[in-house]
Amino acid sequence: MTAIGTSSTVAVVGTGTMGQGIAQVALVAGHPVRLYDTAPGRAGQAAGEVVRRLDRLVEKGRITADERDAARARLSPADTLGELDDAALVIEAILEQLPAKQELFTALEDIVAADCLLATNTSSLSVTAVAGRLRHPGRCVGMHFFNPAPLLPLVEVISGFATDEAAAVLAYDTAAAWGKTPVRCTDTPGFLVNRIARPFYAEALRVYEERVADPATIDAVLRDGTGFRMGPFELTDLIGQDVNEAVTHSVWQAFFQDPKFTPSLAQRRLVESGLHGRKAGRGWFDYSEGAARPEPRTAAPCPAPASVGLHAKLPGPAVVLRELIEEAGIKVTRDRTPGESEGFLRLPGGACLALTNGCPATSNAYGKYIRFDLSLDYRAATRIALAASAAVCEADLAEAVGLFQALGKQVSVIEDVPGMIAARTIAMIIDFAVDAAARGVAAPEDIDTAMRLGVNYPGGPMEWVERLGAQWVWDLLDSMHHQNPGGRYVPSWALRRRADLEEQVL
């Protein structure tokens, strides 16, 4: 392990929330820490705030008073950039403006020692571009901490085009020595988390713009149906609509306006209106005192059918539904509909109930089709979304609703749309992850670690593709592409290759 020794000074430039958090992490790890900010007096104020954070850790019993006092003695503000000359590591956490970061590192190169590691905490700018004006860009690396830095374990260690391998290893080992969970990735727009997570927000916004469901219902389907900690609308309200939209726009521009990353006009209008989320008191939801939170669309109770027919085997994780139905006391018989290849449940009224496959229910030639949305764990899910074809009557839909209610699920009936809500979102995340792994952006295990720790996903997308099967994901996205031509849903060739390999193994 080649971590920077705790006797060496760590300097943090930029004293906002992130800079203070990174300083606290390095300080608690045992380093002398020096804080610098261009605004007069800000470094001293930030040092005082870091000490108050340490006081709270003592109150919570996480560090002792002696440890707090020793850490406080190692912390000092700097009045000039020149006072960082003895630093072994400088971490920059200033504004997300490329010229400002380039100017800072160019100045630091004339101050610090030749073996000082220079790290940028940028979340969206190119590490290669940040280091582009340096005489020795090989010692510049990305160390992207997540907010709040003292609490969240993930650190993305990004190698720019010119970053030396030794510099990346030093940054990785140092982050690990600080008790963090680092992952390695190349310098790609959005790095790992902000690249692969884009569909979680983008597909929800697209579904909203298509008037498939309201924000509260979309959140509930993804949260209660698939295990995400928060829904995309409540999460972007927490992040800040302006911040989330800016990252989306930055990644889209960096990928030369690839339609897969197209920003949302609805979110743009929200930002233009100043409705930036919790910090503004209102975003997608109203956070003012006494404001009622909108409830998701939930179907009224319906009687469960006494029996259902099962045609073929239900795909992927939906196979467990037969077991759940039988456990609920509902008889499962064999359905022998000729000419049908996909697995589905036959309801007593004759309608077919099937997992979404990327086509709307109305497009099925049989007519009486009801699609249910994907869940990664149907046993644990507490909500399921349904979408019915135009030929389905109220009695048919009531049978489908009653069936899932008998399994202990709340049901949200949404408008008929390709891929519904959860399936299209998860399929897109998987495709982004598989494509990133195939392009050498990061190792598959690092991708899964990043998504679990960085955005609290209920699993990693590389794990999901193993469970769902690359062919199922490919088929769903390919169907969506034919329903929505334009490039957004074209599955990657990396996914196609993975599906072909799966078939060869079988």
Positions annotated as catalytic residues are: 123, 144, 156, 194
Tell me whether strands 33-36 and 9-13 are parallel, antiparallel or unpaired.
parallel
Whether 314 and 374 have beta carbons less than 8 Å apart is answered as no
| Number of helices and strands in the chain (H, E) | 19, 15
Q: What is the CA radius of gyration of the chain?
A: 26
**In this structure, how many other beta carbons lie within 10 angstroms of the beta carbon of residue 129?**
15
As given in the structure block, the two tokens for residue 12 are 């943090």
- Among residues 497, 456, 451, 445, which one has the least CA distance to residue 474? 497
First to last CA, the chain: 41
**What does the CA dihedral 66, 71, 76, 82 come to, rounded to 10 degrees?**
150
Look at residue 88 and give its three-state secondary structure.
strand
Whether 154 and 146 have beta carbons less than 8 Å apart is answered as yes
As given in the structure block, the two tokens for residue 287 are 């956070």
Strand partners, 332: 308
In the DSSP assignment, the letter for residue 81 is G
- Among residues 233, 228, 224, which one has the least CA distance to residue 298? 224
- Which burial class, exposed, middle or buried, applies to 55 when counting CB atoms under 10 A from its CB (0-12, 13-18, 19+)? middle
Strand partners, 10: 33, 89
Strand partners, 13: 36, 92
- Among residues 110, 295, 313, which one has the least CA distance to residue 218? 295
Whether 58 and 86 have beta carbons less than 8 Å apart is answered as no
Find all residues with CB under 8 Å of 156, minimum gap 6, and list them: 142, 143, 144, 182, 183, 185, 191, 192, 193, 450, 454
Cα 89 to Cα 105: distance, rounded to the nearest angstrom: 12
502 φ, ψ to 5°?
Answer: -60, -40
Cα 374 to Cα 317: distance, rounded to the nearest angstrom: 8
The one-letter code for the residue type at 289 is E
